[in-house]
């Protein structure tokens, strides 16, 4: 599938991955915490313990443009269109790994101990500290406020110093 990719294809892939963080932020803040709150609410409910959530339906919002871009890029031999679809897919894989595996531990494949991952977890916990539709903070996934990164780095350094 990646046969025939040009520099522009790779640039589209990377740019799409980066832009998806902002798309996800906007959708999370204005759609999930907006008119589709009824789908997202169970994700913020600490009493919800089922394996699947209504919130999981949002994966299809990202699957469709990714799949269609890859499909039509392949059919029409358009590597840039495929690169766009693969960029969305790569962001989805990163989102799944960070959000479902590392933060919420819905799958217990591994536990991250890096300070940046710890900062992501801390920021997401602040997002979930309030359970209402309007009470959110930190709507992004991979990019978080610098102060959270600094706090996590200082905590990690403190642990390192105290053990030596």
In a domain, 138, yes or no: yes
Summarize pLDDT for 74-133 with one digit per residue, the tens.
999 999 999 999 999 999 999 888 877 877 776 777 676 777 888 888 887 777 776 667
DSSP letter for each residue of 113-138: --HHHHHHHHHHHHHHTS-SSS----
Domain count, the chain: 1
In a domain, 98, yes or no: yes
Bigger pLDDT: 44 vs 80: 80
In a domain, 72, yes or no: yes
* CA 81/CA 115 separation, integer angstroms: 36
pLDDT of residue 78: 96
In a domain, 108, yes or no: yes
* CA 80/CA 74 separation, integer angstroms: 10
Summarize pLDDT for 54-78 with one digit per residue, the tens.
888 888 888 999 999 999 999 999 9
Contact criterion met (CB below 8 Å) for 115 and 156: yes
Of 24, 31, 33, 26, the residue nearest 130 (C-alpha): 33
Residue with tokens 């959530």: 53
Query: What is the span of the domain harbouring residue 106?
Result: 7-163
In a domain, 34, yes or no: yes
In a domain, 152, yes or no: yes
* CA 83/CA 159 separation, integer angstroms: 42
* CA 77/CA 10 separation, integer angstroms: 15
In a domain, 17, yes or no: yes
pLDDT-derived band of residue 158, with 50, 70 and 90 as boundaries? Answer: confident
Dihedral angle sign, alpha carbons of residues 63, 65, 66, 69: positive
Helix axes 7-26, 79-95, angle to 10 degrees: 40
In a domain, 1, yes or no: no
Helix (H) or strand (E) holding 90: helix 79-95
């Amino acid at each position: 599938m990646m046969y025939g990719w040009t520099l522009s294809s790779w640039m589209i892939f990377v740019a799409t991955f980066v832009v998806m963080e902002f798309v996800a932020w906007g959708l999370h803040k204005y759609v999930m915490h907006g008119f589709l709150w009824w789908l997202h609410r169970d994700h913020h409910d600490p009493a919800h313990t089922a394996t699947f959530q209504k919130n999981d339906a949002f994966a299809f919002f990202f699957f469709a443009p990714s799949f269609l871009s890859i499909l039509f890029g392949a059919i029409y031999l358009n590597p840039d269109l495929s690169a766009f679809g693969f960029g969305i897919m790569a962001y989805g894989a990163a989102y799944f790994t960070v959000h479902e595996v590392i933060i919420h531990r819905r799958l217990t494949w591994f536990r991250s101990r890096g300070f940046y991952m710890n900062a992501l977890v801390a920021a997401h916990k602040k997002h979930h500290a309030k359970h209402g539709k309007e009470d959110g903070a930190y709507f992004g996934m991979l990019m978080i406020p610098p102060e959270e990164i600094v706090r996590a780095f200082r905590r990690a350094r403190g642990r390192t110093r105290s053990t030596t």
